[in-house]
Amino acid sequence: MPPFSVPELNVVLAQEYRKSVLVQWTAVLGALAHLSFIPLFWVYGHPYLALLNVLSVSMWCASLVANYKGAHRLAIYLIATEAYGHAAIVTIVLGNMSGFHYYLLPLACLAALSPAITRWKSALLGMLGMLLFILLERLPAGFTPLEVAPGLPSAMATVNLTAALAGMVCFVIIISYLIEKQERSLTKIATRDALTGLFNRRFATDYLRQLMEQQRRSPSPCCLALVDVDHFKLINDEYGHRVGDKCLVQMADMLTTHFRRSDTLCRWGGEEFLLIFPGAGQREMLPVIESFRERLRTQPLQHQGKQIIVTISVGLTNVTPGTAPDALVNQADSLLYQAKAEGRDRIVSGSVKDEPPQNVRPRSPGNLESSSDQPKPAN
């Protein structure tokens, strides 16, 4: 993983994700900052401090490698040791007017957020950093044992303070970004089906409740369809579950490209899909679903040179204001059952309060079909 890339959520434990990435970016920025100090001290006649920064860069790089390999505790200890020791040495040598102790402010905050360390140890590291900052800040004015401070630019303290504050702002921005990214990931895990990427049953159930409440306040055309892949168990048994999964993924991809972005497409369970069409009744959606059924039959699944024709049975019903969500799904399921009983590869539409269901029959028999007088199988 490159230093500037953000790792995926599964690289570290979810609760340590933000802290780990923060340590990673801190190590990168710390190494770059100390690398820039090497020519600065060398040019202004402080070769020993330049060599000290060579050691500092190596420690920051070591912490980056440790964090990348998952040794987060070692990484934060290396950062704290280098930062606290370096700030103390340089500030004592050059005096607190040089402002190098300002870097303790963001780094002490980082230490308090350190991953893989107990909270009391993290708090202790942060407190030690703040205490060291106070001690260095209270050094007597003009305290420069080696009297080398005048060799640096007079604006050095301002530059260091600006850089330290900018580091704190960067920490806040990074943490905010990571929180949002993690929330999006967790929301996706909670609402999306892992295989197909469609919404899952939990989301569909919650969405139906909200939709029915909206319909109660302001009725508008709406319908839903329960779709089932015909003879899916036979596909699994004959070709294996990997081919069955591939079939479901292809089905989901085709659903996504065929229907409107405003339509809610969900994997209801197994080989069943629940499609919700706000703003459109069954009379409007019936030809659209029929065209999808025909399209699915003309794009067979390819497996080891064989073509697996996939067909579907559909139960389509209007969303009637005042009807419970479970009743709507049960109505669609009853219509789906009827489509299965009549031979599959067809759409049966109706409504809770409408006339008897209407059938849309296929133009030609589908693959793996049974005669219409056979009872409905498990799928």
Residues recognised as catalytic? 271
In the beta sheet, which residues pair with residue 199?
192, 266
Query: How many angstroms separate the CA atoms of 261 and 278, rounded?
Result: 11
Q: Is residue 323 within a helix (H) or strand (E), and if so which, with residue range?
A: none
Query: How many angstroms separate the CA atoms of 106 and 164, rounded?
Result: 6
Eight-class DSSP state of 172? H
List, edge to edge, every strand of the sheet that includes 358-360. Answer: 264-269, 272-278, 222-229, 312-318, 347-350, 358-360
Pairing of strands 312-318, 301-303: unpaired
Query: How many angstroms separate the CA atoms of 346 and 349, rounded?
Result: 10
Q: Is residue 222 within a helix (H) or strand (E), and if so which, with residue range?
A: strand 222-229
Task: Specify whether the CB–CB gap between 320 and 351 falls below 8 A.
Answer: yes
Give Cβ neighbours of residue 39 (< 8 Å, ≥ 6 apart).
50
Other beta carbons within 10 Å of 183? 10
Give Cβ neighbours of residue 84 (< 8 Å, ≥ 6 apart).
104, 107, 128, 129, 132
Task: Specify whether the CB–CB gap between 114 and 19 falls below 8 A.
Answer: yes
Pairing of strands 312-318, 347-350: parallel
| Number of alpha carbons in the 13 Å side-chain half-sphere of residue 247 | 29
Task: Specify whether the CB–CB gap between 75 and 3 falls below 8 A.
Answer: no
Query: How many angstroms separate the CA atoms of 270 and 268, rounded?
Result: 7
